[in-house]
Amino acid sequence: MRKGITLISAFVIMLVLATASLSVGSVSIPLRDIGTSLWDSSSSTYFIVHEVRLPRIFAGILAGFGLAVAGVILQTIVRNPLASPDVIGITKGAGLVASAVIFLFPMAPAYTIPIAAFAGAVGAFLILLLLSRRLTLSPASLALVGVAIGAVLQAGTQYLIVTHPTNINAALLWLSGSLWGRGWREVYSLLPWIVLLLPVVWVRSNTLNVFQLGNETSASLGLHIVRQRFWLLSTAVALAGISVSAVGAIGFVGLIAPHMARRIVGAKHQWLIPLAALIGADLMLLGDFLGRIIIIPREVPVGVMTAIIGAPYFVYLLRRERARRLQ
């Protein structure tokens, strides 16, 4: 009962933040006029709501779902509470290839950047997969190799920034992660992946529960570890890759949302997955909301705001983990 109320509360928070996001911006819309702006096509703010604010809200929610659930999978498979899509280089791979398109092909159509970002995320995962098979890596080693791959990819991105300063603003905006300018195209690119993959992950909740017991116990219970790990990691890459391709390289959501959910409802994935998804959406909407009201009419990218929100919690996690080990 308590867990159900928690899920409902997280959903209500998401609705409240979405409504607040419809109201704020360079053009303020009073809350009492939100209904008119939504349903009356003759309203002066109808276009702003339907073509500017609604798609960025839906894009933020869907990307929050994807990043958070990807984080849940990675933290379970890698058995590292500090794992996130960044750990295995997904975000860095997406950033490198997207930056390459921005810098090297400045006249390329806008839709090529999300495609390139997704390809970069998948490419980073394939490199990690190849190395893991060659080196027969443990989950902990997998995380370390992912960090190394991410560092190399990040260095490549920085090299492009230094050597191609002409389009640096567009690249930095994408690399920081932003919902600015996101339209229905990004929503439609995210929607089928999220609708398809989230139920698939939830159906595999018991598999994820077993993975928490360790490799030996999981194998003794009849789990095909290598095969299940591959499919779950592939699902995490797909969720994180498509999310990053739509909204840019947003960090901390995939790290913090699973942690917050786990502290509230425990480690059973039947509850952990939906709550983490809702918390991920809440973090995205909160970061976007705060970024739009701090320096109106300018905006602070949502990736910057989620980092500001997530960094103190991350420090708290580190201190808590250290205190636990010293006990």
* Cβ atoms of residues 271 and 215 within 8 Å: no
pLDDT of residue 222: 67
CA 226 vs CA 12, 41, 137, 168, 218: distances in Å: 39, 54, 11, 41, 11
* Cβ atoms of residues 93 and 155 within 8 Å: no
Of 318 and 15, the one with more pLDDT: 15
pLDDT of residue 251: 76
pTM of the model: 0.88
Structure tokens at 62: 């869907």
Average pLDDT value over all residues in the chain: 83
Half-sphere exposure of 281 (CA within 13 A, CB side): 25
- Domain residue ranges of the chain, discontinuous segments joined by +: 2-326
pLDDT of residue 278: 96
CATH topology of domain 2-326: ABC transporter involved in vitamin B12 uptake, BtuC (1.10.3470)
In three-state form (DSSP H/G/I as H, E/B as E, the rest C), the secondary structure along the chain is CHHHHHHHHHHHHHHHHHHHHHHCCCCCCCHHHHHHHHHCCCCCCHHHHHHHHHHHHHHHHHHHHHHHHHHHHHHHHHCCCCCCCCCCCHHHHHHHHHHHHHHHCCCCCCCHHHHHHHHHHHHHHHHHHHHHHHHCCCHHHHHHHHHHHHHHHHHHHHHHHHHCHHHHHHHHHHHHCCCCCCCHHHHHHHHHHHHHHHHHHHHCHHHHHHHCCCHHHHHHCCCCHHHHHHHHHHHHHHHHHHHHHHHCCCCCHHHHHHHHHHHHHCCCHHHHHHHHHHHHHHHHHHHHHHHHHCCCCCCCCHHHHHHHHHHHHHHHHHHHHHHHHHC
Q: What is the pLDDT of residues 45-94, one digit of tens each?
A: 788 888 888 999 999 999 999 999 999 998 888 777 777 787 778 888 88
On the question of pLDDT at 266 being above 60, the answer is: yes
At residue 36 the predicted structure's pLDDT band, cuts being 50, 70 and 90, is confident
Structure tokens at 43: 């309203």
On the question of pLDDT at 33 being above 80, the answer is: no
- Of 8-22, 215-229, 287-301, 312-326, give the range with the top mean pLDDT: 8-22
Q: What is the pLDDT of residues 160-183, one digit of tens each?
A: 888 877 777 777 777 778 888 788
Q: In percent, how much of the chain has pLDDT > 70?
A: 92
